[in-house]
Structure 1
Amino acid sequence: MNTQLAMKSGLLATAAMTALMLMAPMMGMPEMPIGKMLAEFMNIPVVLGWVMHVMIGVGLAVGYILFFRDKISAPPAVKGMLFGMIPFLMAQLVVMPMMGMGVFTSAAGPMQMKMIMGSLMGHLIYGLVLGLTAEEKKVTAMGS
C-alpha cells in the first residue's frame, strides 16, 4: 500500500468534509463541529478532538485503499462516494447513539433532518475527494 497516498488522500478528504461542516450554518444547516463533539464526548481537550477527527479520516482512507478501492468497478468519484456511505451509516447507527443523539440523530428534535442531511453531505464530500485523490497512477510500457 502507498502510505503517502493514503495520508494525502485522507487529509484532503477530511479537510473538505471539515470545511463543509464548519460552513454548514452559512447554508442554513446546524453547526457540526465534529472535533468539539468528540472532545466533549470523550472529556478531552477540543484540540485533541480535532486531532482524532483527522486521524479517523486518514484511517478511513487506509481502509478505502486496502479493502474498497480496487474491489469496485466504477469511476473513482463514484467509488469514493459509495465508500463515504459507510462512515455515514456508522456515524448514524453507532456513534450518534453513543453520544446520546439517538439512531439517525433522533434526539435532535426539529433539527433531525437537517443534521442527517448535513452528515450525509459531509460524508459524501469526504468520499468524493477520497475517491478522486486515492487513485494509483498506472504506469504502462510503451507499445503494449
Structure 2
Amino acid sequence: MKSEVTKFILAGILGTVVMTGIMLVAPNMGMPKMAPWKLLAGAMNVPIAVGWILHFIMGILFALFYGYVFAPKVAISNLFFKGIAFGFVALILAQIGMKVMGLLFEMPPMDGSMPMRLLAMLIGHVVFGVVTVKVIGK
C-alpha cells in the first residue's frame, strides 16, 4: 500500500514537471503564456512559491485520483490511450476547479485567445495524463 501511494505521488510530480516544462516553452511555439502557479498565487494573494506548491499538489492529487478512481474503472488496456483519456478528464476537472476558484477569488487575466488557451491546456493535460499513466503503469 505504501509503495503504491509513493508511486502515485512520484507519478504526479513527474507528470507535473513535464507539463510545466511544456508550459514554459509553449510561448516560443506561438502558444499563450500559461502559468497556473502565478494564477493560483495571484488569485489567492499568496507568494509565488505557494502557487508553485499548490500547482504540484494538484498534480499529485490528480495522480491519486487516477490510481484509485480512474484506472480501476476505465477499461482501456493501452497505457498511451488511457493516458490521453485521463488527460481529457484532468482538463475537465481542472476547468471546473478554475470556475469554482473564479467564484471564490478574483482571477487575474489570462494571456492569448480562448481557442489557443484551450489548445495549450489540452496539450498540457494530455501530456500530464500520458506521463502519469506511464509511470503508474495501470
TM range (shorter): 0.7 to 0.9
Q: What's the % identity of the aligned pairs?
A: 32
CA–CA distance in 2 between the matches of 1:27 and 1:120?
A: 15
Deviation at 1:71, TM superposition (A): 2.1
- Number of aligned residues: 130
Alpha-carbon spacing, 1:19–1:47, altered in 2? closer, same or farther (3 Å):
same
Question: What's the counterpart of residue 90 of structure 2?
Answer: 87
Deviation at 1:79, TM superposition (A): 1.3
**Coordinate RMSD, CA, aligned:** 2.1
Which of 34, 37, 54 pairs up with 1:35?
A: 37
CA–CA distance in 2 between the matches of 1:29 and 1:135?
A: 30
Question: TM-score scaled by structure 1?
Answer: 0.81
| Greater relative contact order (CA < 8 Å, ≥ 6 in sequence) | 2
CA–CA distance in 1 between the matches of 2:33 and 2:98?
A: 17
CA–CA distance in 1 between the matches of 2:40 and 2:66?
A: 22
Q: Which runs of 5+ in 2 are unaligned?
A: 104-108
Within a 5 Å distance, the mapping from 1:46-125 to structure 2 comes to: 46-74=48-76, 75-96=78-99, 98-99=101-102, 111-125=113-127
Alpha-carbon spacing, 1:26–1:97, altered in 2? closer, same or farther (3 Å):
farther
Alpha-carbon spacing, 1:58–1:97, altered in 2? closer, same or farther (3 Å):
closer
Q: Which runs of 5+ in 1 are unaligned?
A: 101-106, 137-144
Alpha-carbon spacing, 1:110–1:49, altered in 2? closer, same or farther (3 Å):
closer
**Which structure is larger by alpha-carbon Rg, 1 or 2?**
1
**Structure that is richer in helix per residue:** 2
Question: What's the counterpart of residue 44 of structure 1?
Answer: 46
Question: TM-score scaled by structure 2?
Answer: 0.84
